[in-house]
A = this chain, B = another copy of it.
């Protein structure tokens, strides 16, 4: 019988110290007894990436993306080789491969490059030689053989892309929580672990601030029909499987509630009302890979101008301000920004077949005197921007309202 390839990803907390790295090797080595071939994707140890970023900031506030990638990618090289050593010290043959060595080819773009293809020859050769293959997450190379990185949290995506390239059914994501919950269990004690969740729901939850999985990883898993198994690095219990789920088999309208307190709202005041301007603004933001959410445009009465406002991640605030201010200068309009915003979202594929979910959400918030600043919806999600100070209260009332305890 040919052996099955298992792809596992261990995040920064899971490989945060030499002891933890040894524990990973110990744990996963048991899997080899079941006649598996192991591919392990690792992030950088604990705080390493932040330390490297700090070093670069001491040199310049604006490093070139190429050098930035060359720098931050070294964190994964360290953890990968240390994990390979750990396996070897258990008497298990293992090898670490960098993104370049593993054949992970990306766009010619830095800091946020997409994986284009994976040339798996070297990986397969090493697996055929009965080695555990440990691959640096987060990085690849562009056509010039320069190191690229695929964005923060990108190791999840690396793992899924590898699982797809290696024809695996499932990809195991080991992390410091033991699964996906109805909401953040640090905020709501009664939060419940979900046994399974659909790609669409996970995607909404990942984009909205549930830090368990990177949204691009979920997208990539969905496209390639890879089941993601999110589970604890430290316990042996089953976690949450992210997979295809039939909406009609879901009994509750809402599966989970997420809160994102790192939102910022940008408002462009008195934008001239001529065709193509909004398009220009959002095109430029997109070209800089800034994710824009909750766009609202009001036509101002008796004028030829609009107010356009939209929300972004706080991390993108500086860059967004630079871009919008340069546009605003040309258009002679004004830019305001607000970072005291939180976004609370109810997510569930069940709401497709169960109308009235939005009304229920707004009523529950209103009952607690929580002001809704703006609303966006998708087929399986309703989001409200609220004041940050109301965030906890809103979470509590909605978690109860949709019977998620």
| Chain A residues within 8 Å of B, Cβ to Cβ | 18-19, 21-22, 52, 55-56, 58-60, 62-64, 66-68, 70-71, 74, 77-78, 80-82, 84-86, 88-89, 95-96, 98, 100-101, 145-146
Say yes or no: B101 contacts A146, CB within 8 Å. Answer: yes
Q: Report yes or no: B60 in contact with A70, Cβ–Cβ below 8 A.
A: no
Minimal Cβ-Cβ distance residue in B for A76: B74
- The residue that A60 contacts in the complex, of B52, B58, B67, B86, with Cβ under 8 A, is B86
Q: Once bound together, how far apart are the Cα atoms of A81 and B74, in whole Å?
A: 10
Cβ–Cβ contact A78 & B95, under 8 A: no
Tell whether A96 pairs with B77 under 8 Å between CB atoms, given A63-B88, A86-B59, A101-B146.
Answer: no
Contact B74 A56 (CB under 8 A): no
B145 touches A100 (CB 8 A): yes
CB-based contact B101/A85 at 8 Å: no
Known: A70-B96, A146-B101. A62 touches B89 (CB 8 A): yes
Chain A to chain B contacts (Cβ below 8 Å), 8 pairs:
A59-B89, A64-B84, A67-B81, A70-B77, A71-B85, A74-B78, A100-B145, A101-B146
Asked if A60 contacts B89 (CB within 8 A), the reply is: yes
In the complex, the answer to whether B55 meets A67 with C-beta atoms within 8 Å is no
Q: Which of B62, B85, B96, B98 contacts A59 (CB 8 A)?
A: B85
| Residues of chain B with a CB closer than 8 A to A22's CB | 59
Q: Which residues of B contact A21 (CB under 8 A)?
A: 59
CA distance A23 to B239 in the complex (A): 51
